[in-house]
A = this chain, B = another copy of it.
Amino acid sequence: MKSFRKELWFSTPTRRAYINITPQVEQCLVESGINDGLLLCNAMHITASVFINDDEAGLHQDLDAWLEKLAPHAPVSQYRHNVGEDNADGHMKRSVMGREVVVAVTKGKLDVGPWEQIFYGEFDGRRKKKVLVKIIGE
């Protein structure tokens, strides 16, 4: 069994952001030399997400507005977590979108559908945060 591990770092200028990280994840796979197995990609912070969806700007605006409706940021005083913090909504938004994706690796490629793109979802940005890529296989 071969194994590969790499951290990817992100710092977004805005509180919320959606970044297509598929090229970086594909680069990890190339570096790993792994041809067949499973790839885990997860946020290492609890107000961020790694998810798979469409790379379409309108959809990202829709997702952002929808998440803000499901778990509004303001008023921050509505959340008990916000004692010296203001990111309770980020924990909820990330719960909806999920922490991680597991992707099959086949013939040295990400074994994904034609429209599947891997995104970093940031819900409490403006600081450095990291994503883990772990691959096991042969």
Contacts and interface: CB of A to CB of B under 8 A. Distances in A.
A46 B54 contact: yes
Contacts of A5: 104, 106, 111
Contact of A137 (B1, B63, B103, B116): B1
Contacts of A116: 44-46
Interface size class of A (residues with CB under 8 A): 35 or more
Copies held by the complex: 3
Interface in A1-26: 1, 3, 5
Nearest to A131: B113
19 contacts: A1-B137, A5-B111, A37-B136, A38-B136, A44-B116, A45-B113, A45-B115, A46-B53, A46-B115, A51-B99, A53-B95, A58-B79, A58-B82, A59-B81, A59-B91, A62-B88, A70-B70, A95-B98, A102-B102
